[in-house]
A and B are shown apart, each in its own frame.
Chain A
Amino acid sequence: SQQGEEDPQALSIQEGENATMNCSYKTSINNLQWYRQNSGRGLVHLILIRSNEREKHSGRLRVTLDTSKKSSSLLITASRAADTASYFCATASDSGGSNYKLTFGKGTLLTVNP
């Protein structure tokens, strides 16, 4: 079952603009993570936010989490053509334990036009 649902499914912007992607989930979580996937490649971890956090930053990335609305957003500022990729949110119901697994959404395809 897929817990996270990203919105929009596809996003096309110009270089230099900001890109915002949203993720909604259904059940309570321990943490939410964002991953990036270039076409035909494996996923790369970008950032993790825990259920007791509301906002985190990493470079040009800003993630927010609203557990009351069961939603998260990923903001990429000053986008570059190299940011073109699919972005996935993934949720975990516990933290690194013996039965730890992630549930992924379907992703947002971001295209940054030069």
Chain B
Amino acid sequence: DGGITQSPKYLFRKEGQNVTLSCEQNLNHDAMYWYRQDPGQGLRLIYYSQIVNDFQKGDIAEGYSVSREKKESFPLTVTSAQKNPTAFYLCASRQGGADTQYFGPGTRLTVL
């Protein structure tokens, strides 16, 4: 099956701990994106990457970090510096030159 996988679906962490969210795609897409969604809100862009070994900050990058060592993988680390990390995190990918994005199923992170 082609698509985007995010794991785990639910994640619980204690305050002050870093946590890494996984995003993998087998669509051979060039670009990948991380969004945060809060209840009743739209999506806000955290980081995006157009090619391997390159990424750019989105609108709310503070307290987050990413890497893009492989085309198919774009992990997001939520650091202890993120003031309010509890949210639904969505990963997306896009073929170079195309306009639409394909989304993974999301990871719901709860920090206790």
Asked whether, in the complex, the Cβ of B99 is within 8 Å of the Cβ of A88, the reply is no
- With beta carbons under 8 angstroms apart, the residue of A43, A100, A101, A106 that contacts B103 is A43
Q: Tell me how far the C-beta of B22 lies from the nearest C-beta in chain A, rounded to whole angstroms.
A: 14
Asked whether, in the complex, the Cβ of B44 is within 8 Å of the Cβ of A2, the reply is yes
In the complex, A45 Cα to B4 Cα: how many Å? 14
Interface size on B, residues (CB 8 A): 31
Chain A interface size, under 10 / 10 to 19 / 20 to 34 / 35 or more: 20 to 34
**B48 nearest in chain A by CB position:** A101
* Chain B neighbourhood of A1, CB < 8 A: 59
Q: Known A31-B99, A98-B50; judge A42-B40 contact (CB<8 A).
A: no
In the complex, A48 Cα to B100 Cα: how many Å? 8
Q: Known A42-B104, A101-B48; judge A96-B98 contact (CB<8 A).
A: yes
What are the interface flags for A1-45 relative to B under an 8 Å C-beta threshold, 1 for contact and 0 otherwise? 110100000000000000000000000001101010000111111
**B100 nearest in chain A by CB position:** A45
In the complex, A2 Cα to B100 Cα: how many Å? 18
Which residues between 86 and 112 of chain B lie within 8 Å of chain A, taking CB atoms? Answer: 88, 90, 92, 94, 96-106, 108
Q: Tell me how far the C-beta of A74 lies from the nearest C-beta in chain B, rounded to whole angstroms.
A: 15
* A92 part of interface (Cβ distance < 8 Å): yes
